[in-house]
């Protein structure tokens, strides 16, 4: 019997995957909005979902109906960065110039797409009133492919990118600086970005528990001091470059009492063997890509412990663009990507030998789950559609994962590999197992607080009679999904012990360190013997954001009543 409120998924022949409606726009970027909804963002292109007489490139998808509603974002969000701030709003920054059909440059606000330049844009989603606050000149610099990282004070850092461009970066356009939202003044230098041309777009960032930011770009890694703007160099990453367009799968492993809340960053896959010249520049790669198999190699680094790259058991397949998504049972799903080639697209017949426009081939359909405590992998179902370049995926509070997109093309097409609008939902192995109740979980988690207790006899499913051997509470921030990275994704397991026979769970408070898990919204789960409850939206730490200047007159962009639903 499914738990109340959870419907039995319609499981496809391939495993725990079901198709579930359409995104209306190509789901290039995604983030969780509510129990049932996901916000998708796309670049400016000829999507079937229309708003105000033009294609939409922002939508809200509802997992219950499978339908999507459009939003009237006008800056071109191709390819933007995103991360949440402390009060639960999602900040999306950067993008590219105004474009028309086929992705070609166009004058601003001119049909048929009527987009405006998004290079310096800040678009802020407010989940409380369902509106976008759009600030087309909100950044100091033009940033296409910027990274974003939530910070301990509730703000976010915006790192790197370049002012337009193509396949990989070039010196003339790159933006080797960092700025903040809310604004703290002129951008400051980030030297690793300059050193790591041409694979320095979307550099991979994780705030560390000592307040410094781990940055991995091309084959280099540093700990960046956000106050002094200095770098402590770490050993070079072996194997494939981590960031786009090589796109190794990357994640910060969940913090647990067993790992003493010490951070480990894991990378799997990417494309090895290319020289700096081979990776090319904005014009495209200088070698063929779609005939090259991706690496299976996994490497981890604990930047604050011994800063040593360690080989880990290889991934089940070599892939570029697979995404690691932290699950509420402490494991990590590995979804999507391609076995050959890289992210990006180019003209048919060009040097990279694209399939259609795609620089990747041989999609990775199988979904695998990694147990990060033992580095073991288990097969858990198969997708039915390629989910490669410009796809996205989001963990839902019920533990399923919404998978959308894939569109390695400059504009909408049905030619292989086509613009994909179908949504698939992946269900974890325990999805239809009777679930514990999340009712006793608090709605706020304060740093250094004394903790709380849970009556396990009330929390456990009424259908479950087995004695409880392990129970724990996890917080997960799902982050902002794009380009095979869950930006800002973070998970922490609280220290717990069972007392009174097996009737009470004593849960210690969140460690008193904002850099472990930055303030903001998260999902809280109660896990009893490997079966998590549904996630509860909670506030971690204070909602305050330093230095934000609220605009007096906020531009509200509401639903269009006449909008066509897909
Ligand atoms: Cu992109």
Q: How far is the CA of 152 from the centre of ligand 1 (A)?
A: 28
Distance between CA atoms of 321 and 405, rounded to whole angstroms? 13
Q: How far is the CA of 201 from the centre of ligand 1 (A)?
A: 10
In 269-337, the DSSP E strands lie at 298-301, 310-312, 323-326, 332-335
Token digits of residue 529: 């013997």
Token digits of residue 116: 């405006």
Q: How far is the CA of 270 from the centre of ligand 1 (A)?
A: 16
- Superfamily covering domain 245-432: Galactose oxidase/kelch, beta-propeller (2.130.10.80)
Q: How far is the CA of 95 from the centre of ligand 1 (A)?
A: 9
Token digits of residue 181: 């939202």
Q: How far is the CA of 103 from the centre of ligand 1 (A)?
A: 12
Q: What backbone phi and psi angles, to 5 degrees, belong to 211?
A: 90, -10
Q: How far is the CA of 117 from the centre of ligand 1 (A)?
A: 16
- Residues near ligand 1 ion, CB 5 Å cutoff: 79
Distance between CA atoms of 8 and 14, rounded to whole angstroms? 16
pLDDT of 463 reads 66
Q: How far is the CA of 160 from the centre of ligand 1 (A)?
A: 14
End-to-end CA distance of the chain: 32
What dotted CATH number matches 444-540? Answer: 2.60.40.10
pLDDT of 549 reads 67
Which pairing describes strands 249-252 and 366-371: parallel, antiparallel, or unpaired? Answer: unpaired
pLDDT of 553 reads 47
Among residues 399, 282, 379, 386, which one has the least CA distance to residue 341? 386
Q: How far is the CA of 564 from the centre of ligand 1 (A)?
A: 26
> Strand, coil or helix: what is 368?
strand
DSSP state of 75: B
For 309, residues 6+ apart whose C-beta sits below 8 A from its C-beta are 235, 237, 238, 299, 300, 301
Q: How far is the CA of 549 from the centre of ligand 1 (A)?
A: 30
- Domain(s) labelled CATH 2.60.40.10 in the chain stretch across 444-540
pLDDT of 473 reads 98
Distance between CA atoms of 483 and 29, rounded to whole angstroms? 8
- Render the burial of 440-450: b for 16+ CB within 10 Å, e for the rest: bbbeebebeee
For 172, residues 6+ apart whose C-beta sits below 8 A from its C-beta are none
- Domain(s) labelled CATH 2.130.10.80 in the chain stretch across 245-432
Asked if 91 and 85 touch (Cβ cutoff 8 Å), the reply is yes
Q: How far is the CA of 465 from the centre of ligand 1 (A)?
A: 49
What is the ipTM score, two decimals?
A: 0.99
pLDDT of 165 reads 80
Q: How far is the CA of 345 from the centre of ligand 1 (A)?
A: 9
Q: How far is the CA of 163 from the centre of ligand 1 (A)?
A: 14
Distance between CA atoms of 179 and 172, rounded to whole angstroms? 19
Q: Say how many C-beta atoms besides its own lie within 10 A of residue 64's C-beta.
A: 11
pLDDT of 560 reads 34
Among residues 215, 166, 163, which one has the least CA distance to residue 191? 215
CA angle 90/92/167 to nearest 5° reads 145
Q: How far is the CA of 341 from the centre of ligand 1 (A)?
A: 15
pLDDT of 9 reads 46
For 185, residues 6+ apart whose C-beta sits below 8 A from its C-beta are none
Distance between CA atoms of 175 and 353, rounded to whole angstroms? 29
Q: Is the peptide bond before 280 cis (omega within 30 degrees of 0)?
A: no
Asked if 506 and 495 touch (Cβ cutoff 8 Å), the reply is no
Half-sphere exposure of 40 (CA within 13 A, CB side): 35
Average pLDDT by stretches of 10, the chain with 566 residues: 38 68 97 98 97 97 97 94 98 96 93 95 97 96 98 98 93 97 97 98 98 98 98 98 98 98 98 98 97 98 98 98 98 98 97 98 97 96 97 97 97 97 96 95 97 95 80 98 98 95 93 98 97 98 87 44 33
Q: How far is the CA of 9 from the centre of ligand 1 (A)?
A: 32
Q: How far is the CA of 268 from the centre of ligand 1 (A)?
A: 20
DSSP code per residue over 482-514? ETTEEET-EEEEPPEEEETTTTEEEEPPBPS-T
């Amino acid at each position: 019997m499914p738990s109340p409120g959870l419907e039995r998924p319609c499981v496809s022949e391939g495993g725990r995957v079901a198709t579930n409606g359409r995104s209306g726009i190509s789901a290039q970027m995604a983030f969780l909005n509510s129990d049932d909804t996901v916000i998708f963002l796309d670049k400016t292109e000829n999507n079937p979902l229309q708003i105000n007489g033009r294609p939409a490139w922002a939508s809200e998808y509802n997992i219950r109906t499978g339908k999507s509603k459009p939003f009237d974002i006008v800056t071109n969000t191709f390819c933007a960065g995103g991360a949440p701030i402390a009060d639960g709003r999602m900040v999306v920054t950067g993008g590219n110039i105004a474009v028309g059909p086929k992705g070609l440059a166009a004058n601003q606000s001119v049909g048929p797409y009527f987009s405006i330049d998004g290079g310096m844009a800040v678009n802020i989603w407010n989940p409380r009133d369902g509106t976008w606050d759009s600030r087309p000149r909100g950044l100091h610099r033009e940033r296409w492919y910027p990274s974003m990282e939530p910070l301990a004070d509730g703000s976010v850092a915006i790192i790197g990118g370049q002012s337009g461009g193509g396949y990989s970066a070039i010196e003339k356009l790159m933006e080797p600086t960092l700025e903040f939202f809310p604004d703290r003044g002129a951008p400051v230098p980030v030297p690793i970005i300059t050193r790591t041309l041409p694979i320095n777009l979307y550099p991979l960032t994780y705030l560390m528990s000592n307040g410094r930011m781990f940055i991995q770009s091309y084959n280099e890694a540093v700990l960046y001091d956000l106050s002094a703007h200095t770098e402590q160099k770490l050993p070079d990453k072996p194997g494939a470059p981590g960031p786009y367009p090589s796109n190794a799968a990357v994640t910060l492993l969940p913090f647990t009492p067993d790992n003493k809340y010490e951070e480990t960053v894991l990378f799997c896959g990417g494309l090895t063997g290319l020289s700096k010249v081979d990776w090319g520049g904005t014009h495209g790669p200088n070698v063929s890509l779609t005939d090259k198999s991706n690496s299976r190699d996994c490497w981890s680094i604990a930047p604050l412990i011994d800063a040593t790259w360690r080989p880990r058991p290889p991934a089940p397949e070599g892939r570029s663009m697979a995404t690691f998504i932290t699950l509420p049972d402490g494991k990590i799903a590995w979804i999507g990507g391609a076995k050959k080639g890289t992210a990006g697209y180019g003209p048919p017949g060009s040097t990279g030998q694209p399939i259609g426009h795609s620089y990747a081939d041989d999609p990775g359909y199988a979904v695998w789950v990694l147990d990060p405590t033992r580095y073991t992998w288990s097969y858990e179902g198969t997708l039915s559609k390629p989910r490669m370049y410009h796809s996205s995926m989001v963990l839902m509070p019920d533990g399923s994962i919404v998978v959308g997109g894939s569109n390695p093309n400059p504009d909408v097409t049905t030619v292989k590999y086509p613009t994909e609008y179908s949504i698939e939902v992946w269900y974890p192995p325990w999805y239809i197992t009777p679930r514990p109740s999340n009712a006793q979980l608090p709605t706020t988690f304060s740093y250094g607080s004394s903790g709380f207790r849970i009556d396990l006899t009330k929390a456990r499913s009424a259908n479950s009679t087995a004695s409880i051997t392990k129970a724990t509470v996890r917080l997960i921030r799902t982050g902002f999904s794009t380009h095979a990275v869950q930006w800002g994704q973070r998970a922490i397991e609280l220290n717990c012990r069972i007392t009174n026979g097996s009737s009470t769970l004593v849960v210690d408070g969140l460690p008193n360190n904002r850099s472990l898990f930055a303030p903001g919204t998260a999902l809280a789960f109660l896990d009893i013997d490997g079966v998590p409850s549904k996630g509860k939206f909670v506030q971690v730490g204070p909602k305050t954001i330093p230095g934000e200047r609220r605009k007096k007159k906020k531009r509200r962009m509401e639903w269009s009543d006449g909008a066509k639903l897909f």
